[in-house]
A and B are shown apart, each in its own frame.
Chain A
Amino acid sequence: MGLTLSWLSIIILIPLAGLFLKSLELSPEQFWNILSSRRTLNALRVSFGLAFAAACVNLVMGSIIVWALVRYRFPGRRIFDAIVDVPFALPTAVAGVALTALFAEKGWLGAPLAALGIKVAFTPVGIFVAMIFIGIPFVVRTVQPVLQDLDPEIEEAAGSLGASRWQTISRVILPSLGPALLTGLALAFARAVGEYGSVIFIAGNLPNVSEIAPLLIVIRLSEFRYADATAIAVVMLVVSFVVIFAVNRLQRWAQSRIPAR
């Protein structure tokens, strides 16, 4: 207990407290000015907006991938299962370079898309793509064990009670997976918000357009405007904390309805 607490403090709480203390050097007015500057607001909007959109996409696609991996036996299933972890393991810079090469105007995917008039690399769409890439394993790996635990017999039971396929999914399967899906969504979102390495390669990093908040922090740091950097950091921290806290509460609520077996 004591060990856990001290370790947690050293690793997590003390650095966070330091961050808050640093931001206290700013007067409320200065703090507000930094945050309400157009560039900061846009960076935060790009980061949180795209991260949320990417997490939602991951939720849907991740669920489909999980379903296939758990419920079907097909050749190469184990390989696909392993591939899901690649975004976990790949250095983010490598992912960024690879995605950029792929989606650049002359890249394998970028060229056909460019012919359709869609530009991915060096636009916010690129950020979106990178965020999807790094977020997908979070959804898959959170939902997978829960789905594996879900007895296919309950689907048969629902069917024999007269439920249509859709009723079985919406009334039986999704509610059973609910807490896991929410957790997956939150983790993918948190990861996408914090993602730096892969995004900066593909983003183009135009201020106000495709500049993410973590990059803005780095830029401010390199300009020695530490207070500005911490102010943005504090906002990201608070928002992330609120999201995680909300999901935690949601999960608690869901679990109080489904006590562990």
Chain B
Amino acid sequence: MTIEVRNLVKKFGSFAALDGVDLKVDNGELLALLGPSGSGKTTLLRIIAGLDWPDSGEVSFNGEDALAQGARERHVGFVFQHYALFRHMTVFENVAFGLRVQPRAVRKEEAAIRARVKELLDLVQLDWLADRYPSQLSGGQRQRIALARALAIEPRILLLDEPFGALDAKVRKELRRWLRSLHHEINVTSIFVTHDQEEALEVANRVVVMDKGRIEQIGSPDDVYESPATAFVHGFIGESIELPVQIANGVVQLGDRPLQLAADGLAPGASKLFVRRHDMLVGPPGSGAFEGAVQHVRNFGPVQRAEVALSGGETIEIDAPRDRELHVGDRIGLEPRRYRIFAG
């Protein structure tokens, strides 16, 4: 199933949750919608599911207009952040729900329903919980049941709204890996919403980065990390040092100091310089484009994270390898191995 979204606009009062969104999702893809809260990613997901309606724009599944159908007709599996399990039903009945409410003409026989539910519970590896109630399960188990329930109707598309958002870090990591292998197994076109970049980069085939109701970049996890298309993407994905710079006469300036950085092809005016924390190479004072004093050092496994006060007064955080120990008070030179400058 392919999904195509054209020029989608949705306003809540004067707030534009979606401000002209275009998106194509290929058959069998596992796509992540990544953005900060309020970026419109959940609204986009809910509109695709038929739980919300756009003010204007088009949504089509395999070329046919999806907006003409309600959530019930779209045959879309939806997984909610807070599971939305039916708490008066057992796990088994929760998963069976979508099969039991089918119109009589197409409804499966009881034995077939039982077999299908059993199959799904096996798929999510929770068949031993069939007779429990949702309240007796852990968060991770509940979310897997919610997924099994959504898959019961053999959805054309699977949509997951912050599926691991309510879980603790360890369970989240396990479920991420599990979701990816599950998707590999069932291969249904899937979109999941997340504000966690690590989750998006690790699980998805393609990542859509959103901000303020617009799509900032669409690309593979490598693309959005290695070659961010906009200042927002660079700042949002990966940990970056962001410095306000001026471009004048082909020179990059930080405050009133010229930096030894190439300014080829950059428009003059106020710009932003982005450097990944681990791309700042430490050298002796006087080497490199920046100079500063170490103010604070913490060790994180293989790296040491240092807070450095630049000579112009700006404070930045860098991740340096442990081979050269940094100490508070050290004066160091810093050379960006790679950097990006965006206008604005």
Contact = CB atoms under 8 A, between A and B. Distances in A.
A167 B100 CA distance: 10
Contacts of B77: 160
Contacts of A261: 87, 135
B153 interface: yes
Interface in A208-261: 257-261
Interface string B72-97: 10111110101011111100000001
Interface in B199-257: none
A175 B77 CA distance: 23
Contacts of B70: 159
Contacts of B86: 154, 157-158, 172, 176
Interface string B138-149: 000000001001
B163 interface: no
A160 B77 CA distance: 7
A57 interface: no
Contacts of A160: 49-51, 71-72, 74, 76-78, 150
Interface centre among A156, A172, A176 (most CB of B within 10 A): A156
A112 to B, nearest CB: 43
Interface string A13-46: 0000000000000000000000000000000000
B20 to A, nearest CB: 26
Contacts of B89: 175
B135 A153 contact: no
B133 interface: yes
Interface residues of B, number: 32
Interface residues of A toward B: which range? 20 to 34
Nearest to A161: B98
A172 B51 CA distance: 18
A157 B80 contact: yes
B37 interface: no
Contacts of B74: 160
Nearest to A171: B101
Interface string A136-162: 000000000000000101101111111
Contacts of A172: 86
A156 B78 contact: yes
A163 B72 contact: yes
B110 to A, nearest CB: 16
B287 interface: no
B72 A164 contact: yes
Given A156-B51, A259-B135, A161 B149 contact: yes
B56 interface: no
Given A156-B71, A167-B101, A161 B153 contact: yes
20 contacts: A156-B51, A156-B84, A157-B80, A157-B146, A159-B51, A160-B71, A160-B77, A160-B78, A161-B98, A161-B101, A161-B149, A162-B101, A163-B97, A167-B101, A171-B100, A172-B86, A175-B89, A176-B87, A259-B135, A261-B135
Interface of B: 49-51, 70-72, 74-78, 80, 82, 84-89, 97-98, 100-102, 133, 135-136, 146, 149-150, 152-153
Given A157-B85, A259-B136, 11 more contacts: A153-B82, A157-B146, A160-B76, A160-B77, A161-B152, A161-B153, A163-B97, A164-B101, A176-B88, A258-B133, A258-B135
